């Protein structure tokens, strides 16, 4: 069994954990970009690369730790040469003599793959989920026996891509959910809203989830895909021809082995599409979980009422503020030192069980006035108005006379109105709601609150 470090040198990842890691990764990206051309094909002139790194160090002016690079580096050129030598020692680069006093620098294949991943993470590039299921559908729809094995192979690769990207999509949602629920940093409503309504919307809703639920939805193509696979599998002449093509392409001598391989390819495509329903349901649940967590946090951070939740909210803001030394916590808590006198001090002697006897309860209806009752009822039902069901009812009332309405046209007088507007946008992609939203490019301002305008419309209505 092959091990990873049979291919990659042991010191390969030391560059990424070094005190100079920020400089090294910048230099690796510069080298990658410098020799990433059709002509060079990740093989570039050493002097050209040194000049690029020298320009970088002229701008950075950051010192390198000499103990690590094993060389004295004072000028920008010396730093560039030192970094190249270090990358050669750790297995990121290789050198090749070309003659005529020319030397080229080569990136290894594993270096290229690692740098591509690191570059996509740095640039926050998201996987674009567009037309993946349709690709499998169109490939199988155009199936011809002359190119049968090549078509089946492409369908297999595309299916694996669909599954892998959907798994990545779910993991992407979990990253946002983890940040909002496990983040130990100070709560900031503005950053939370930006994360939710800009970052999450662009990287999840716009780039992936919307296409998955509309243009490239599974129910739209699943039946046709499974029918195409059944036609191929049930046609004996097709199966024989596919087996012969596989034997010729892969140089397999055993007919039965090749036949089983074809069967396995067809079965894997079919099983993957049968299992996609479960994966998509899991994505829906995770999205619902994130949206509910974000909504709960927004409601908590915007609660400044005099109920228990509002008091705790204000108390937590005081405790985590930057003025901790000026706070007298005895104003909020009556804390005292407690200790156990001995190991028997917590002992409670056993006593005979006595059955409780219920006493008659006398209730004076005049004891609590009508206003107090109404106030208690409002407090008990307060959070219900922010549930997904109630928000959906609220939108139905807004859309009672029209099929669509702009956010700026909604009632925006109280704090409750603004919270409802946020939750309307938030719940728009949830399961069970009867409306959808479409962002507009216009930035609007209402009562000193600035936000991006959007259209709220009934599902099924084309804008």
pLDDT tens digits, one per residue of 347-364: 667 777 778 787 777 666
Q: Are residues 208 and 293 in the same domain?
A: yes
The four Cα atoms 393, 395, 396, 397 give a dihedral, to 10 degrees, of 90
157 domain residue, yes or no: yes
Q: Are residues 114 and 226 in the same domain?
A: no
Q: Single out the residue of 205, 190, 259 nearest to residue 427, CA to CA.
A: 205
Q: Which of 154-168, 177-191, 439-453 has the lowest mean pLDDT?
A: 177-191
Q: Which of 128-142, 218-232, 345-359, 438-452 has the lowest mean pLDDT?
A: 345-359
Q: Are residues 293 and 171 in the same domain?
A: yes
Give the per-residue pLDDT at 252.
Answer: 86
Which long-range contacts (C-beta less than 8 Å, at least 24 apart) are formed by 210-215?
A: 210/429, 211/129, 211/130, 211/131, 212/129, 212/166, 212/169, 212/280, 212/283, 213/429, 215/130, 215/131, 215/134
Q: Single out the residue of 81, 98, 69, 72 nearest to residue 31, CA to CA.
A: 81
The gap from C-alpha 131 to its chain's centroid, in whole angstroms, comes to 20
Give the integer Cα–Cα distance in Å for 220 and 161. Answer: 18
Q: Are residues 108 and 151 in the same domain?
A: no
Count of positions (residues) in the chain: 463
Q: Can you list the alpha helix ranges (DSSP code H) found in 328-400?
A: 370-381, 388-398
Q: Are residues 157 and 252 in the same domain?
A: yes
Give the integer Cα–Cα distance in Å for 252 and 288. Answer: 49
Average pLDDT estimate for 301-316: 62
Please give the structure tokens belonging to residue 77. 């050129």
Please check the confidence at residue 397 and state whether its pLDDT lies above 50: yes
Please give the structure tokens belonging to residue 205. 């809703």
Per-residue model confidence as pLDDT tens digits over 269-295: 999 888 888 888 887 777 777 777 777
Decide if 137 contacts 225 (C-beta within 8 A). Answer: yes
Average pLDDT estimate for 315-326: 55
Q: Single out the residue of 428, 434, 460, 129 nearest to residue 279, CA to CA.
A: 129
Q: Tell me how far CA of residue 228 lies from CA of 62, 149, 425, in angstroms.
A: 61, 14, 40
**From the CB of residue 359, how many other CB atoms can be counted at a distance below 10 Å?**
6
Q: Are residues 264 and 157 in the same domain?
A: yes
Please check the confidence at residue 42 and state whether its pLDDT lies above 70: no
Average pLDDT of the chain, as a whole number: 77
Q: What phi, psi does 444 have (nearest 5°)?
A: -120, 165
319 domain residue, yes or no: no
Number of domains in the chain: 3
pLDDT confidence of 320, banded at 50, 70, 90? Answer: low
Give the per-residue pLDDT at 264.
Answer: 92
Decide if 13 contacts 100 (C-beta within 8 A). Answer: no
Q: Which domain holds residue 416?
A: 372-458
Domain end (from 91, 122, 153): 122
pLDDT confidence of 186, banded at 50, 70, 90? Answer: very low
Q: Are residues 383 and 452 in the same domain?
A: yes
Give the integer Cα–Cα distance in Å for 177 and 5. Answer: 34
Q: Are residues 424 and 277 in the same domain?
A: no
Give the integer Cα–Cα distance in Å for 117 and 220. Answer: 33
Give the per-residue pLDDT at 38.
Answer: 45
Domain end (from 84, 99, 122): 122
Q: Are residues 187 and 250 in the same domain?
A: yes
Q: Are residues 178 and 288 in the same domain?
A: yes
Q: Are residues 267 and 200 in the same domain?
A: yes
Percentage of residues of the chain with pLDDT beyond 90: 7
Decide if 425 contacts 440 (C-beta within 8 A). Answer: no
Domain end (from 61, 88, 122): 122
Average pLDDT estimate for 212-230: 82
Per-residue model confidence as pLDDT tens digits over 96-112: 776 677 778 888 888 88
pLDDT confidence of 4, banded at 50, 70, 90? Answer: confident
């Amino acid at each position: 069994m092959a091990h990873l470090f049979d291919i990659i040198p042991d010191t390969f990842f030391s560059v990424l954990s070094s005190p100079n890691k920020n400089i090294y990764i910048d230099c690796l990206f510069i080298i990658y970009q410098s020799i990433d051309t059709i002509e060079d094909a990740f093989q570039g002139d050493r002097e050209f690369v040194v000049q690029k790194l020298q320009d970088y160090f002229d701008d950075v002016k950051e010192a390198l730790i000499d103990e690590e690079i094993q060389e004295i580096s004072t000028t920008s050129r010396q730093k560039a040469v030192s970094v190249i030598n270090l990358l050669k020692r750790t297995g990121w680069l290789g050198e090749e003599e070309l003659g005529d006093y020319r030397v080229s620098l080569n990136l290894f294949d594993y270096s290229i793959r690692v740098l591509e991943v690191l570059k996509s993470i740095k640039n926050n590039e998201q996987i674009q989920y567009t037309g993946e299921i349709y690709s499998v559908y169109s490939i199988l729809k155009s199936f011809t026996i002359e190119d049968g094995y090549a078509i089946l192979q492409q369908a297999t690769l595309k299916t694996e891509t669909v599954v892998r990207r959907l798994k990545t999509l779910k993991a992407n949602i979990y990253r946002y959910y983890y940040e909002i629920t496990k983040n130990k940093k100070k709560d900031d409503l503005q950053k939370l809203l930006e994360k939710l309504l800009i970052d999450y919307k662009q990287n999840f809703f716009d780039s992936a989830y919307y296409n998955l639920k509309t243009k490239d939805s599974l129910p739209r193509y699943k039946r046709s895909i499974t029918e195409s696979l059944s036609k191929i599998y049930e046609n004996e002449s097709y199966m024989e021809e596919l087996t012969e093509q596989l034997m010729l392409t892969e140089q397999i001598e055993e007919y039965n082995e090749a036949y089983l391989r074809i069967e396995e390819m067809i079965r894997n495509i079919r099983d993957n599409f049968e299992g996609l329903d479960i994966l998509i349901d899991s994505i829906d649940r995770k999205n619902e979980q994130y949206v509910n967590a974000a909504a709960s946090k927004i409601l908590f951070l915007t609660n400044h009422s005099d109920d228990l939740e509002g008091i705790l909210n204000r108390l937590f803001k005081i405790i985590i503020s930057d003025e901790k030394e000026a706070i007298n916590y005895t104003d909020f808590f009556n804390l005292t030192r407690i200790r156990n006198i001995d190991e028997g001090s917590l002992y409670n002697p056993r006593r005979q069980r006595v059955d409780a006897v219920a006493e008659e309860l006398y209730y004076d209806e005049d004891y609590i006035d009508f206003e107090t009752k109404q106030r208690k009822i409002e407090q008990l039902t307060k959070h219900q108005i922010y549930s997904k069901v109630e928000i959906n009812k609220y939108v139905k009332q807004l859309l009672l006379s029209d099929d669509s309405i702009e956010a700026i046209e909604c009632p925006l007088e109280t704090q409750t109105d603004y919270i409802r507007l946020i939750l309307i946008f938030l719940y728009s992609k949830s399961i069970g709601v009867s409306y959808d939203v479409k962002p507009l490019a216009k930035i609007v301002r209402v009562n000193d609150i600035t936000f991006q305008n959007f259209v709220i419309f009934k599902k099924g209505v084309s804008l």
